[in-house]
Amino acid sequence: MTSKLLPLLIAAALSGCSMAPDYNQPDAQSEHQGWTEASTQQELETAIPQWRSFMADKHLQDLIDAALKNNKDLKQTILKVAETKAQYRIQDSARYPGLNANGSYSRTRTSDAVTGAGKNYASSSQATVGITSYELDLFGRVKSLSDEAMQSYLASDENRRSAVISLVSQVASAYIKLITDQELLALTQDTVKAYSETLSLVKTRYDAGYSDALTLAQSKTALYSARANAAKYKLSVAQQKNMLRQLVGAPIAFATKERLPTEEGKMLSELQVGSSSKLILNRPDILSAEHKLKADNANIGAARAAFFPQIQLTAGAGTMSNSLDDLFSSDSGYWSFAPSITLPIFNWGKNTANLDVAKIQKQSSVIAYQAAIETGFKEVSDALLGQEYYMEQWKAQQANLDANKDYYDLAKMRYKQGNDSYIDLLDAQRSFFTARESELSSHLSLLTSRISLFKALGGGWSAADQESTSVDAAVKSMETSE
């Protein structure tokens, strides 16, 4: 009778009902609306380009590849996901009965002082296969805990994808900032050279009596100010190299003669993608927030099941004999079946409080999910606006730079001819330097906003799925190093 009942109980446990609420994705329509959008935005449902085609610069591609393999923060994030995956496997294993095999042998001698019959020897042998403390999941508590662990693992894996995308964007931004700082340093050094030449010319004119002490002093202050700017940009270049080196996580060869391209699309391709809701809702941070919400939803099921009885099953079958020779004889078999039940009666409201906590956590996750969507649309809207207005600014700064270049060349020629004062030349030099500095800064802002748009739309999925950033590869590498 019992041997027939056992499979039925196990089947009932494995197919236990779930007491978790039906999951319904929160309405996020209100989070989609109301954002100021750029006038050139296109509502396209197409996927954005892969990072290699978006970031066309070969040196930048090599740096990103190295960072994906060596960045220490990313490695820690990947290992954390591997740990969460293992925790899920541990939790999920509780859904199924575990079989244990045990064997024992003992031989004892009892003294004559106890038995009064001389030396007495006894032997005992036993072999058992059985189930120890398996919970029959009739109310879905164990299944809900398994679902919660699964969703927590999926949320952490989406966080891994976010970390990869963020790293790709950080390396690109740091690389472009380094090139900009190198150009600004070169510009400042050229300015120092120009001021030095001007100072020599002013000093010659001063010695000949054609220039006054005030002009000489102004020329010196201009030179010393330019040298101070050069020192500032030397520091900025060195610090930017350190940042890029840390992001890459390995020694790198810096290309000191790199320059920002004057033509569009030579370093970063132009993105022709608007803030499509389908694209944004596939961002890893939003998917992670939804998995966290699903985990909290499953946790409600576990909290509800705690109000119902918990049935534990202990069962075993095997053989037992006083000698090894008879251990597997036909009459040495035995079995045991010992179910137990625990029924919560009164625990001072503990189960009710746990259920309240689970419900509150779910509501908090709903708000976090909606907030993640709002953040996504804000970031995309900001980046799209940056694309439009930084482009206008850059073009205006280019025109301003051309005008200041003509102004400087003309002032330099007129000063040498004695037609203008040094003040006019100094003003032209400063205006030209400022215009070039502003043009580089606006170009940097344009490229940085393009990277921000790529990141905001969830760009970099291919990097998140490649071998070097996968959880399986991290676990394999860990096992190899042991």
87 CB burial (10 A radius; 0-12, 13-18, 19+): middle
C-alpha to C-alpha distances, 175 to 56, 64, 189, 446, 447, nearest whole angstrom: 13, 10, 21, 14, 11
Residues 6+ apart with CB under 8 A from 294: 23, 147, 151
Separation of alpha carbons 304 and 20, rounded Å = 8
Separation of alpha carbons 268 and 264, rounded Å = 8
Separation of alpha carbons 407 and 436, rounded Å = 13
Separation of alpha carbons 75 and 73, rounded Å = 5
Tens digits of residue pLDDT in 410-462: 988 887 787 877 788 888 888 998 999 999 999 999 999 989 988 888 876 66
Residues of the chain with pLDDT under 50: 1-2, 4-5, 8, 11, 13-14, 38-45, 275
Give the pLDDT of residue 151. 94
Name the 3-class secondary structure at 212.
coil
Give the pLDDT of residue 368. 92
Q: Read off the tokens for 306.
A: 């705690």
Give the pLDDT of residue 42. 47
Contact 307, 346 (CB under 8 A): no
Separation of alpha carbons 449 and 446, rounded Å = 5
Q: Which amino acid is at 114?
A: V
Contact 418, 215 (CB under 8 A): no
Closest CA to 383 of 441, 449, 443, 444: 449
Separation of alpha carbons 177 and 159, rounded Å = 26
Give the pLDDT of residue 52. 83
Question: Looking up tokens 């290992």, which residue turns up?
Answer: 79
Closest CA to 63 of 172, 176, 178, 166: 172
Separation of alpha carbons 243 and 415, rounded Å = 44
Separation of alpha carbons 402 and 420, rounded Å = 21
Give the pLDDT of residue 22. 82
H or E, element range at 133: strand 120-136
Give the pLDDT of residue 34. 55
Q: How does the average pLDDT of the chain come out, rounded?
A: 81
Give the pLDDT of residue 121. 67
Tens digits of residue pLDDT in 353-368: 989 999 999 999 999 9
Give the pLDDT of residue 238. 93
Q: Which amino acid is at 442?
A: S
Q: Read off the tokens for 334.
A: 């035995």
Spell out the domains of the chain, with CATH numbers in brackets. Answer: 15-95+137-308+349-481 (1.20.1600.10), 100-136+311-343 (2.20.200.10)
Give the pLDDT of residue 332. 72
Separation of alpha carbons 39 and 385, rounded Å = 8
Give the pLDDT of residue 403. 95
Separation of alpha carbons 59 and 71, rounded Å = 17
